[in-house]
Amino acid sequence: MAVYDGRGAHGQMVEFVGRRILAGALREGQTIDVAALEGELGISRTVVRESLRVLEAKGLVGARQKRGTFVRPRTDWNLLDADILRWQFAGRSDGGFFQMLHEVRSIVEPAGARLAAQRRTDADLQALDDALAAMAEAGEDAEAAVAADLRFHRVLLGAAHNELLERMEVVIETGLFVRDQFAYAGDAEDRLPAHRAVLDAVRRGSPAKAERCMRILLDQAVKDLSGLRLGDPDGDAEPAVESTDPVTFHASAGYFDVREIARPLKKALVAGCLPCQSGEMSQSRPLTLLAAAMFQNPVISMASLPWANSWSGPTPWP
């Protein structure tokens, strides 16, 4: 996952302002005091301006004559940017961000596993074998285990041989990183068997089983976090979401059953569009609004941006 390394005055400035925005210390619409930043960080105006241009490219800040530099609305932020995902994880004090990432993974990864079972090459299988072996060899080394886990999921997504699907790698990796920060540090269930089951299904060329095994693996990730509180120092944050079904969540909490939308979503992705809540297509509204209304998840909404307003063909429903 490519991220801004934060080195040097330029990198430190990007990190400093980016983290403050995502943490809410700099609010939407708030004017940024450029002169104060220069003094606080002891850097030149040139460095400040270059850093703000980086943040502007990420959709976090904007600049207007007479108004100066300001924090743009959250709807303008590129939530799929690797740095923004990382800053958001660092700045959130509850389990909501993890849940959003898990929802995206529940949509993307099972479908990716299904495609991998149909399209994997010998080289893909070898890379998956190597990643699984690295997970086994990591033992109690949490850092090595996390790296191997990320590698397995990255290779599996690549084995689907779909360039657009591969662009979701940053969300998958961030979701894994968030989970692994807690799961590998605690008393989590052995995850090797679940990963091996996915690989075995992919190796046998069994799309349905590969998809099913990936759902089980994702459910295990939620169970690993059950009882953990991703929250503030006082322990008042909401607990991890509990689910007796790997793909069902409570509607009252803004979640959904992935199976209910899997078939239309798959067709929509092929067509380059997303369904609205009723299962019908509205070609007159931007897809970002449809995604936001359907999923109540800004990360999924951002995933629709590449196709927004681009669909001009017939409605893809049967």
pLDDT in tens, 231-266: 333 334 333 333 333 333 333 233 333 333 344 444
**Residue showing tokens 């400040």:** 48
Instruction: Write out the CATH class of domain 93-252.
Output: mainly alpha
Burial class (CB in 10 A: 0-12, 13-18, 19+), 193: exposed
Q: Give span(s): CATH 1.10.10.10, the chain.
A: 8-82
pLDDT value at 212 more than 60? yes
Average pLDDT estimate for 184-191: 60
Which residues are CB-neighbours of 160 under 8 A, at least 6 positions away? 112, 115, 116, 119, 166
CA distances from 63 to 9, 32, 43, 76 (A): 21, 10, 20, 14
Q: What angle do CA 201, 205, 208 make, to 5 degrees?
A: 65
Mean pLDDT estimate for the chain: 73
User: Which residue is listed with tokens 């503030």?
Assistant: 232
Q: Are 26 and 17 in contact (CB under 8 A)?
A: yes
Choosing among 1.10.287.110, 1.10.10.10, 1.10.357.10, 3.40.1390.20, the CATH entry for 8-82 is 1.10.10.10
Residue type, 284: S
Residues 6+ apart with CB under 8 A from 98: 175, 178, 179, 225, 230, 240
Q: Which residue in 107, 122, 120 sits closest to 198, CA to CA?
A: 120
For the whole model, what pTM was predicted? Answer: 0.62
**Contact status, residue 171 vs residue 85, Cβ threshold 8 Å:** yes
Q: Where in the chain is the domain with CATH 1.20.120.530?
A: 93-252
- Relative to beta strand 68-71, strand 61-64 is antiparallel
Lowest mean pLDDT among 72-76, 169-173, 271-275: 271-275
Q: Which residue has the higher pLDDT, 246 or 104?
A: 104
How many angstroms separate the CA atoms of 267 and 111, rounded?
12
Q: Tell me what percent of the residues of the chain surpass a pLDDT of 70.
A: 62
Range 121-143 average pLDDT: 93
